Amino acid sequence: MNAIRTGLKWYDQKLYTAPYLTQMVTNGPLWAIGDLSAQWLENVRRNKKQPIDWKRTARFTVYGFCVAGPLFAWWYGYIERRFMHLRLKGEWTKYLAAKIGADQVRLHPLS
């Protein structure tokens, strides 16, 4: 349990000291894993054995590194700064609701 806590503390520090690089390195593999999982689930659902489309997975990986990573680093930094005053006043419910609301309304309105 201590190793997990240490790892999370290290990751949190990296998000603070190098947010763009950390988000890029995190999002690239996560988008690849997400695409591979989607392809596998589609095979299971259709009860077929289609080969993995590695070009598609590569495109998702590049998107995660080059688009999603920097975008998320900028966006989450922005909404953190935008609503920091609520956190500093101890208004945690308003702070969380404002961040979640801004994220859902501004960045993810169609998802």
The mean pLDDT value of the chain amounts to 93
State the pLDDT confidence band at 107, using cuts at 50, 70 and 90.
confident
For 15-60, write each residue's pLDDT tens digit. 999 999 999 999 999 999 999 999 999 999 988 889 999 999 999 9
Going by C-alpha positions, the residue among 86, 85, 79 that lies closest to residue 108 is: 79
Please check whether residue 18 is in contact with residue 11, taking contact to mean a CB–CB distance below 8 angstroms. Answer: no
With a pLDDT cut of 70, the percent of the chain lying above it is 98
pLDDT score for 91:
92
Task: Write down the domain spans for the chain.
Answer: 23-107
The CA radius of gyration of the chain, in Å to the nearest whole number, is 18
Q: Round to whole Å and give the CA distance between 29 and 34.
A: 8
CA-CA distances (angstroms) from residue 90 to 77, 78, 83? 19, 19, 12
